[in-house]
Chains A and B, each alone.
Chain A
Amino acid sequence: MGLSSMNTIEVLSLTKRFERKDDGKKRPFAAVDSIDLAVEEGELFGLLGPNGAGKTTLIKMLCTLILPDEGRALVNGFDIVKEAEKVRASIGWLHGETGGRALYWRLSARDNLRFYASLQNVPPDVAEKRIDALLDFFDMTEEASTLVKDFSTGMKVKTMLARTLLPNPPILMMDEPTVGLDAATAVETRKLLKALSTDLGRTILFTSHNMFEVERLCTRIAIMNSGKIVAIDTPLRLSEISKEIKAVEVRISEIADSKILDLFQGLKGVQKVVKTEIGEDYSLIQVQVEDEQEAIATMPEFLQEKGLNVISIQRALPTLEDVYMKLTRKST
């Protein structure tokens, strides 16, 4: 894949290596391992992956905070190494620090935003208008003059979000944009991000651990693991990967402990227990099986013989989470 001017973010064989101690010796490892990626203008692009997959390192390279070891990337047509200043003029970055420590705690929300606006060369009159609007949007007008040190976590996150949006850049890079927000604000923030993308053509690249959010918002998703992109496609097409996974969901009225789960493991045709959800008076167990229909036919009787009360059993609907789990090889 060569670099093309059609995309706002283009990554070609981008690599970043660090060292870590392994058995007392320092060994190099690739936090980002020869990644290729292209994000079109106006895309809402999700970046998923477990902790340590390399998502933050990739985003920081695109934001010019980290220099790559190999490869190239263009952001808004500018090289991240040779034209770093122009890249920074094109982006807004939301820090992944959800504790709000990346704010000045001894300044008010408004002063934090004014300071940032000055550094981003936003004209003063435009900055004031945007600050008022963003504080109003995040329901923080009354707290605008309160020092950040007196804010709750959610208010700090909202301040950081406002700061990211303030310069109105064509590209937004966001690390977990809705973590720490209350449900209502999270809903409004998602609506705003969607609208910025579809109505104003802003390109948004964000990381998240919230499958629901990613599935519903993103035009495309990349799943990273161990520094590599293991899958990249629309949410719908990615979900179809999990159709290879045959699974059934069994709801029982008992609380599933290890003994009960061992029973499932012992069933003929069961490959593994994928996940367990414990409710007040039920347990929902999803198991991978060789043959779904046979499992549905035989499992209830077997479980009832073992003294369990089976409320229901059905074919498990594949989700993005299943894909993610399959591709990143973890299970709950």
Chain B
Amino acid sequence: MKTPELINFLKEVPVSGREASVLEKVYAFVVRDFRTWWTYKLWVSIDILGTLMFVVSYYFVSKIVTTTSLEAAGYGTDYLTFAVIGVAFQQYVFSSVSTLSESIRGEQWDGTMETILSSKTNFRVFLLGESVFRFIMGSYFLVTALLVGEAIGVKITTNLGSILSAAIMTMLLITSHMIVGILSAALILKVKEGDPIVWSFSWLTQLFSGVLYPLNLLPSQISWIGAIFPLTYSLDGIRRCLTVEATIFSPIVAEDIVKLAIFIVVSLPIALKAFKAAYDSTRSDGSLGQY
């Protein structure tokens, strides 16, 4: 096409139509991410292998562990189930949140961040779009881990009420950790470095949220730290539902739900404000596309 023809083409009034809805835009992100992910087919197999390895390694650890502390904390006598649930859910939220910040880092590195944020897409939609696929994939691996665990001796209840209750707690877990992801995205946008929030979150939760051991093993001077993290309540509630057949109507689980809800209601607006502030700041200092 020669220049004058292109000019004439561009002069034509664009076909008018409605703007894409939030759902359609998020779907576009998911399709993009799925297609990219699908080109790394080998990675999919390797990820499954990785899941298998960590579950199986705790099988062996469970052979040398006593269960006195577990029983005292009300989680039954099965360390393997305790550990697999802990690590599976902790990895679930950590990988979902860290891949969000990695994908933002990747957008900065590839130069596509500016392209997207200078389009009609609102930054909240951008965040949602970047997150959804990661949580879908995280769910896929979570289920795989639990199924592999079942195959080697993890005992999970078949009580429908308990399973549904665990699902509700998982939704709250996801929502609360998206907030962590948004905060970390805000920091990455501004600081352009690897992710102090996500990495701090990872080791802090492993230490204080009862991932590999019940919290009654921690000295009283530091055991209260776990109360800051939504993962602590989520794991507690999910474990009780899946191992001792508690439901959302059980007092302890209900208490966990209330605490999670308070966390979400209070911190979600703060996280969104922080991201907006970082976004505006990078636009102001011109560093949006830098890495």
Is A257 within 8 A of B7, CB to CB? yes
A195 at the binding interface (Cβ < 8 Å): no
Please indicate the chain A residues that have their CB under 8 angstroms from the CB of B4 in the complex: 256-258, 261, 276
- Kindly state whether residue B19 has any CB partner on chain A within 8 Å: no
Partner of B5, one of A149, A150, A256, A258: A258
- A257 and B8 in contact, given A276-B3, A332-B3 (Cβ under 8 angstroms): yes
B290 at the A interface (CB under 8 A): yes
Q: Chain A: which residue is nearest B7 at the CB level?
A: A257
CB nearest neighbor in B for A105: B291
Contact B290 A149 (CB under 8 A): yes
Identify whether the interface residues of B are mostly helix, strand, loop, or mixed: helix
Distance A257 CA – B3 CA, assembled complex (angstroms): 9
Chain B residues, Cβ within 8 Å of A149? 192, 290-291
CA of A277 to CA of B72, assembled, Å:
85
Q: Which of A231-287 contact B (CB under 8 A)?
A: 256-258, 261, 276
Q: Which residues 127-184 of A have a CB within 8 angstroms of B? A: 149-150
Instruction: Collect the chain A residues with CB atoms within 8 Å of residue B7's CB.
Output: 257
Cβ < 8 Å to A, chain B residues 236-291: 290-291
A193-226 to B contact mask, C-beta < 8 Å, 1/0: 0000000000000000000000000000000000
Interface residues of A in 309-332 (CB under 8 A from B): 332
CB distance from B197 to the nearest CB of A (A): 21
A256 / chain B contacts, CB cutoff of 8 Å: 4
Chain A CB within 10 Å, residue with most, of B4, B7, B8, B291: B4
| Cα distance A256–B3 in the bound complex, in angstroms | 10
- CB-CB contacts below 8 Å: B1-23 with A: 2-5, 7-8
- A residues near B2, Cβ cutoff 8 Å: 258, 332
Of chain A, the residue at the smallest CB distance from B287 is A150
What residue of chain B has the Cβ atom nearest to residue A259's Cβ?
B4
- With both chains docked as a complex, state the minimum distance between the C-beta of B287 and any C-beta of chain A, in angstroms: 9
Instruction: List the B residue with the shortest CB-CB distance to A262.
Output: B4
Shortest Cβ gap from A246 to chain B (Å): 22
**Set of chain B residues within 8 Å of A105, measured between Cβ atoms:** 291
Q: Enumerate chain A residues within 8 angstroms of B5, measured Cβ to Cβ.
A: 258
Q: How far is the CA of A150 from the CA of B286 in the complex (A)?
A: 11
Tell me how far the C-beta of A271 lies from the nearest C-beta in chain B, rounded to whole angstroms: 16
Q: Which residues of A contact B8 (CB under 8 A)?
A: 257-258
Q: Mark A88-126, 1 if CB is under 8 A from B, else 0.
A: 000000000000000001000000000000000000000
Within the complex, the shortest CB–CB distance from A273 to chain B, in Å, comes to 9
Say how far B6's CB is from chain A's closest CB, in angstroms.
Answer: 10
Chain A's closest residue to B4 (CB) is A258
- Which residues on B sit within 8 Å (CB–CB) of A257? 4, 7-8
List of B residues within 8 angstroms of A276 by Cβ? 3-4
Separation of A314 and B192 alpha carbons in the complex (Å):
58
Q: Which of B3, B5, B192, B290 has most A Cβ within 10 Å? A: B3
- Minimum Cβ distance to chain B for residue A152 (Å): 11
Contacting residues of chain B (74-102) with chain A, CB-CB under 8 angstroms: none
Question: What residue of chain B has the Cβ atom nearest to residue A150's Cβ?
Answer: B290
Question: From residue B251, how far is it (CB to closest CB) to chain A in Å?
Answer: 53
Which B residues are within 8 Å of any A CB, using their own CB?
A: 2-5, 7-8, 192, 290-291
List 10 A-B pairs, minimum CB-CB distance, nearest first: A258-B4, A257-B4, A258-B5, A261-B4, A258-B8, A149-B290, A276-B3, A256-B4, A257-B8, A257-B7
- Could you give 7 example pairs across A and B, Cβ below 8 Å? A150-B290, A257-B7, A258-B2, A261-B4, A276-B3, A332-B2, A332-B3
Given contacts A257-B7, A258-B2, A276-B3, 8 further A-B contacts (CB under 8 A): A149-B192, A149-B290, A149-B291, A257-B4, A258-B5, A258-B8, A261-B4, A332-B3
